[in-house]
Amino acid sequence: MLVERSTKTKESLKMPADTRDKILQAAFTRLSSQGYENTSIKEIAEEAGVAQGLVHYYFKSKQQLVLAVLMDVCAKLEIYGPELGEAGALAAFENFKSVLRTRRDAHNLYVELIGVGLHDREVGTGIRDDIRRHRGEVEDIARQVLAQREVDPGPARAIASVVWGAILGIIVQSLVDEDFNSDEAVDALAAMALSAVYPGTQSA
Amino acid sequence: MLVERSTKTKESLKMPADTRDKILQAAFTRLSSQGYENTSIKEIAEEAGVAQGLVHYYFKSKQQLVLAVLMDVCAKLEIYGPELGEAGALAAFENFKSVLRTRRDAHNLYVELIGVGLHDREVGTGIRDDIRRHRGEVEDIARQVLAQREVDPGPARAIASVVWGAILGIIVQSLVDEDFNSDEAVDALAAMALSAVYPGTQSA
Amino acid sequence: MLVERSTKTKESLKMPADTRDKILQAAFTRLSSQGYENTSIKEIAEEAGVAQGLVHYYFKSKQQLVLAVLMDVCAKLEIYGPELGEAGALAAFENFKSVLRTRRDAHNLYVELIGVGLHDREVGTGIRDDIRRHRGEVEDIARQVLAQREVDPGPARAIASVVWGAILGIIVQSLVDEDFNSDEAVDALAAMALSAVYPGTQSA
Amino acid sequence: MLVERSTKTKESLKMPADTRDKILQAAFTRLSSQGYENTSIKEIAEEAGVAQGLVHYYFKSKQQLVLAVLMDVCAKLEIYGPELGEAGALAAFENFKSVLRTRRDAHNLYVELIGVGLHDREVGTGIRDDIRRHRGEVEDIARQVLAQREVDPGPARAIASVVWGAILGIIVQSLVDEDFNSDEAVDALAAMALSAVYPGTQSA
DNA sequence: TATGAATGAGATTTCATTCAT
DNA sequence: AATGAATGAAATCTCATTCAT
């Protein structure tokens, strides 16, 4: 929606969206590298090159600002492509491996905000909805695969819970432990997810 | 309350450990329910029923106190029993299902401290070591199962990365989303983990 | 000065006086209900439905705006009618009883501005002049009554000080204390004022 | 209660009450001379010679501090002596005349806090209770006088409303208008109050 | 060991005012 | 006349930490 405003061809106009974006960018930069509580509004304003008060002009509170940043981040974590079924799943896992390397900053912020969300209603809701959305997407893929294999689609939800959980857990491990071999882990997850589709049917 | 200390049943010395524990307990209570940054030393002291200054007598800083609490929490998250091999794995998964319900407070704190650890060297190290230890234990079990089945134990580490990751991810989802069906998820994880042991060999 | 502008031929032009008045009205509404320091220019602008900057276009500063509002309010506190002498006094007291009910908002603002005026030169001057004017009007009536009764008009000023003081004090009590019986108080004041005219002559 | 602590003969003890009092004194000084909104916690701390944070250590908020100061001020406004009946009334009026000169600072603060109290629940309650108390005391005196004169004590409350109202109004006028002759006003009030006791009986 | 007063830095937030358009 | 983005100062409040007793 912000984009619409910047698509105005007349570049001479005051473009408040630019300022808002500058602040959002600055907030993301600082928050992802320093953490939620170690980042002050003052620092964000400095990073953005604007007066401190302006941050509150665009975002009512620090919480609201963080929430806006979170929404941006969530979008950046998308790992699914256009392909469907098993091919789509494999492509997504492949993509995830590279995202794990290129989006460390976003992951950093995301994981920290999970923690923040545990004690902050609004952030918590944002995180929860994002997790639900992602899990839902994984469930769709699982359902497609199960359909391809012509077996009971029942366990799709449970499988999605595990797969998305493992994705979260792999993200955490790769952030926390510099020695963690994330490629190996993602490959194993892919194998387990795709092979386990059958047995899951019986046990769930 | 202070009087208890005068029950110097053992050596004539005062027993500071009592006080220290009281503070640790209080810190855990408050931290797990309110979060790291929403909990002040003053509140912890009040919860423990001691003077504010005493907290700094036992713990050099808030960070050190949190670190000490973290160690306690890590111990509480143990899910493995004495059994070995596949039976041990199944028992651990069973146990995990109940721990998910009974240790919400510990999980809350743990997950938040993962976030804190991303920007705090000391907490980060504590978390990382704990995660490595857990993953190592899972790896041991995986190795036992693979041995039982007389197949290549090579993928044990990768499997452990996925399984422990999924455990973390399931913890997060159960904390964040009140509608999350964690039993279903753990059952699916158990099925995937135990059935997928074979295919993992080829793909990793 | 407002009048001059509105003497523009009539309705064909945009009527800035309208805007100015809108702002004044909005300021009165907010100030009287929220208080001086709890009301921001931004709120007043919103209440008036104009841009924030426009408030400063019409009023150099918040102080000036408040001063303008004060003038309006003062006019609204008039309690004297056209009648003279004792009849005029009685009518004024009667009128005061109903004003106490219908102008609570104006009284609210007035009383608060008395407080503000104690530490703000300009507001203080406005309040002082208004009080002097009111007291002068009371003094006129007192003088008429004393003349009617053919006694020394000397104590008129002192009586006015008391009567106007009591009016202020009754306003305050009726604002501050929801259980205050203002009718009873005003009746007593009327009785005391009119009966005391004689004895006052001796003691003052 | 604070006094008790300072009555400890051992003057070597840390006397927190001293610090609290220092802050209260400083707050009164600044508030009465600069006004509620023009006085910052920082200034009060400086006036008291303590760190800013200490003010919040003793008083949870600025509001609470002001409330505490208000209580002190209310005590200082007492104008009644030990005498009873008409003599007591006359003495109180006499006393009031000098208090008007000597307690300008307290009156300043009191009047401003009436204004503040209109939009601040807690301050408002404090003011209301104080006004009720004072009015009650005046009512007692009025009742004594009426009893002395053996007439109906019914109008005592109404008379008190007027007399205390006039006292408030005279305070305001003497603060706001440097030319106001307060002695003259108080004398007139005394005369009106004492002479009007009779007619009031009939009219109220 | 234990207390709690005292410190001082820093964080969020509010707001009157200015200014370019 | 009108807009609303932008500024910068200041205010309240919180808090980890220190220190004298």
Range 169-188, chain C: CB under 7 Å to any strand F atom: none
Question: In this structure, are A56 and A138 located in the same domain?
Answer: no
- CA nearest to nucleotide F3 C1': residue: C51
pLDDT for the residue C17 = 65
In a domain, residue B152? The reply is yes
Question: Given a cut of 90, is residue A76 above it in pLDDT?
Answer: no
Q: Which of B195, C200, A64, C54 is nearest to D190 (CA)?
A: C200
Specify whether D81 is located in the same domain as D46: no
Percent of chain C, pLDDT > 70? Answer: 87
Instruction: Note the pLDDT of residue C101.
Output: 95
- Alpha-carbon span A197 to B204, nearest angstrom: 18
The answer to whether some atom of strand F lies closer than 7 Å to the beta carbon of C52 is: yes
Instruction: Judge contact between B124 and B118, C-beta under 8 A.
Output: yes
- B204 is a domain residue: no
* A128 occurs within a structural domain: yes
Q: Beta carbon of D42 within 7 Å of strand F?
A: yes
- pLDDT-derived band at C138 (thresholds 50, 70, 90) equals very high
In chain B, positions 37-66 with C-beta closer than 7 Å to nucleic chain E are 50-54, 57
Measuring CA to CA, how many Å separate C113 from each of B187, C46, C100, C178?
71, 22, 17, 21
Least CB-CB distance to A166: which of B38, B166, B202?
B166
Closest C1' nucleotide to C51's CA: F3
Tokens of B99: 């721990």
Q: Is residue B203 part of a domain?
A: no
Concatenating the DSSP letter of every residue in A59-107 gives SSSHHHHHHHHHHHHHHHT----S--HHHHHHHHHHHHHHHHHHTHHHH
pLDDT-derived band at D178 (thresholds 50, 70, 90) equals very high
Amino acid occupying residue D164: W
How far apart (Å, rounded) are the C-alpha atoms in residues C171 and D172? 12
The model's pLDDT over B27-70, given as tens digits with 9 standing for 90+, comes to: 999 999 999 999 999 999 999 999 999 999 999 999 999 999 99
Residues 16-55 of D with CB under 7 A from strand E: 16, 19, 50-54
What's the token pair of residue C187?
A: 């009746």
Number of C-beta neighbours around residue A13 at 10 A: 10
Angle at B71 (CA atoms; ends B171, B62), nearest 5 degrees:
105
Write the pLDDT tens digit of every residue in A13-44.
Answer: 445 669 999 999 999 999 999 999 999 999 99
Domain stops at, among C19, C50, C69: C69
- D191 to C204: CB separation less than 8 angstroms, yes or no: yes
- Domain match, B34 and B108 both: no
Using CA atoms, how far apart are residues A34 and B120, in angstroms rounded to an integer? 9
Most distant pair of Cα atoms in chain B: their distance: 65
| A88 falls within a domain | yes
pTM of the full predicted structure?
0.87
CATH number at residue B23: 1.10.10.60
Residue A202 placed within a domain: no
Domain match, A149 and A81 both = yes
- Within this chain, do residues C87 and C180 fall inside the same structural domain, yes or no? yes
Domain boundary among D69, D90, D112: D69
Please choose, from the candidates D150, D143, D144, D151, the residue with its C-alpha nearest in 3D space to the C-alpha of residue D201: D151
Q: What is the band of C196 on the pLDDT scale with cuts at 50, 70, 90?
A: low
Domain range for D165:
77-197
For residues C141 and C84, give the distance between their C-alpha atoms in angstroms, rounded to a whole number: 7
Q: Which of B10, B43, B69 is the last residue of a domain?
A: B69
C57 & C130 share domain: no
Q: Are C32 and C82 found together in one domain? A: no
Nearest one of C50, C53, C111, C54 to C77, comparing CA atoms: C111
